[in-house]
Amino acid sequence: MATSWRQFGPINLIGGPVKDLRNLPQPVLDRLASVIGDDEPGRGQRRGFDVVSRSTLASARLFTPETRALDGGGCEVSGYATVYDYAYNVGGTYGWDEIIAQGACAKSLAEQDRCVFLVNHDSSTALGVPLAATYSGDLTLSEDKVGLRTELTLLPTNTVAEMLIDGLLNKRVDSMSFAFRVTRQ
C-alpha cells in the first residue's frame, strides 16, 4: 500500500550535483522507458537518456528541470519533484533511505491541496515567499508512472525569482525536491 501524504508546502528547486542513477532497479527503468519513449525505436533512447545502459545521462533527464525562457524575462519550468520507487538518501551517513511509492501523491492531487513552490524548502525567510502556487494557477502538479510531475511559470516579480530564473536558464540550478506530511499509512 502506498503512503498517502498531504503536501504542506514546498516543491523546491535546489542547487547541487546531478544524481547518478545507474543503480535504478529494473521496474523503474521499465517505467521510464514506457513514458519517455524512443527517438530511435527499439534502442531505448531519447534526448540523451539511455534507459538500456543506465548511463549517468539518465540523471539529467530525470532530475534536471526543463526550462524555456519567456518574453519579459520569466521562464516555464517542468520536471519531476520525485521519482517513485527509488531510494533517496536522507540525512547523509546517519540518515535513512526514503522511497516514495507509486500512487503516494494521488490523494493530495485529487483533493487539490494548497501547494507552493519555494526555494530550498524555506518558508521562514524572504526566500519563503511562494514563487508559484496551485491555488494561483501558476503551479501544476500531476503524477505518472515515473513520479510527481511539476510544471510552473516563474516571473521576475522579486529578487528571489530573478535569481532563480537566472540560475535555471544558465544551468546552475539543476534539481528539484519536495516536502510532505504523512496523513495515514
Q: What is the pLDDT of residue 141?
A: 93
Q: By residue range, what is the domain housing residue 144?
A: 4-18+64-184
Cell 515515473 maps to which residue?
146
Distance CA 6, CA 163 (A): 29
Tally the domains of the chain: 2
- pLDDT of res. 172: 84
Question: pLDDT truncated to tens, each residue of the chain (185 aa)?
Answer: 333 333 333 333 333 333 444 556 677 667 666 655 544 444 444 444 444 433 433 333 445 678 889 998 889 998 888 888 888 777 777 778 888 899 888 888 888 778 888 887 766 666 677 888 898 999 999 999 888 999 999 999 888 889 888 988 888 887 777 777 766 65
E strands present in 8-137? 10-14, 45-46, 49-50, 66-69, 75-83, 87-90, 96-99, 116-119, 132-133
pLDDT of res. 164: 87
Does residue 10 share a domain with residue 37? no
Q: What angle do CA 13, 26, 184 make, to 5 degrees?
A: 55
Residues 33 and 116 grouped into a single domain = no
Query: What pLDDT is attached to residue 43?
Result: 46
Q: For residues 48 and 10, state if they share a domain.
A: no
pLDDT for the residue numbered 29: 65
Q: Which residues contact 78 (CB under 8 A, 6 or more apart)?
A: 65, 66, 149, 150, 151, 152
Give yes or no: residues 96 and 171 share one domain. yes
SS3 36: helix
